[in-house]
Amino acid sequence: MTLHVENPGRSAVAAVIGLGSMGFGMAQALKRAGLAVVGYDVAPAAVARFIAEGGRGASTLGEAVRDADIVVSVVVNAVQTEAVLFGPEGIASVMKPGAVFISSATMDPAIARDLAQRVEALGFHYLDAPISGGAAKAAKGELTIMASGSARAFAAARPALDAMAAKVYELGDAAGTGAAFKMINQLLAGVHIAAACEAISFAAKQDLNLEKVYEVITASAGNSWMFENRIPHVLAGDYTPLSAIEIFVKDLGIVQDMARAERYPVPLVAAALQMYLAASGAGMGRDDDSSLARLYAQLSGAQLPGTIKA
């Protein structure tokens, strides 16, 4: 692996901001690829866990990024990303000159463009790089990254991209394009989960054999990546959160806001978002997003495997 960093004689130093289920795995993948990794999280327990597994931790944002050639931000949303950069302890004033900020949070493309402009004005590089693939792929360094940014941002980020991703889509030289692609994916993913749950609980309402429904649909034109991936959770009655309802409350909310601003109608997104909101309001916000099937069942009297009825 060629490291396109300022000082080619040493390993790149990477700071990972946010050691949640995705960030923790990404930090591990970076370390495994030979980068010097410093981890930081607002929760000291997350930092302690990273240290316990052989990582180097930081107790402040500034300490984390002081020596970093590459800063990988794995926080939840645009607000947290802006706080990391420009908040009271924001790193924009203490990053190394020429460092690259890799932003992986899902956000409105307009905000990504704004953040990039402000970061670049201070002499840093910005890579708009939303991620896809889940925690297991993060830990294996097999994420999909939808990236856009300047050639220099890509070059500076390359060692980290190589370490974290199985596939990097290079989507252009302007920040915001990566974010826009991610939002198209989230639009479809969020609607497909809701459709899968609407369908499987409707099948349950009709007392169909749900295992057979799964077998037939996954071999038919009604199939989706999400139906195939999420419905097994419903068949097992296991709503342990691999990805929570609240993720799509957030992401379909972003899509709906973007679409409203652009005067673009999104009736399917709007309908799906209402179901995620209802699931959250009914107490399932932190459960797996396949909990929409439980919501449909509760609203109709359909009997799902292992469903605990409210």
Query: Do 143 and 132 contact (CB within 8 A), yes or no?
Result: yes
Of the ranges 72-80, 96-104, 150-158, 174-182, which one interacts with a second copy (CB under 8 A)?
Answer: 174-182
User: Residue 275 CB, nearest distance to a second copy (Å)?
Assistant: 6
Is 182 annotated as catalytic? yes
What CA–CA distance (Å, rounded) separates 93 from 147?
Answer: 25
Judged by CB under 8 A, which of 77, 185, 256, 307 binds a second copy?
185
C-alpha dihedral sign at 275, 106, 55, 29? positive
Q: Kindly indicate which of the ranges 16-24, 67-75, 223-231, 282-290 contains the residues binding a second copy, using the contact rule CB under 8 A.
A: 223-231
Give, as ranges, the residues between 140 and 169 that touch a second copy (CB under 8 A).
Answer: 144, 146, 167, 169
Q: Of the listed pieces 47-55, 71-79, 226-234, 245-253, which binds a second copy according to CB under 8 A?
A: 226-234
- 127 or 180, CB closer to a second copy? 180
Closest CA to 134 of 243, 248, 254: 243
Nearest to 270 by CA among 280, 281, 255: 255
By CB under 8 A, residue 300 contacts a second copy: yes
Set 31, 137, 182, 250: catalytic member: 182
In the sheet that holds 165-170, the strands lie side by side as 131-132, 143-147, 165-170
List b or e across 191-201, with b for residues whose CB sees 16 or more CB atoms inside 10 angstroms: bbbbbbbbbbb
Please report how close the Cβ of residue 62 comes to a second copy at its closest, in angstroms. Answer: 36
Tokens for 21? 């289920």
Give the shortest CB-7-to-a second copy separation in angstroms: 34
Show which residues are catalytic.
182
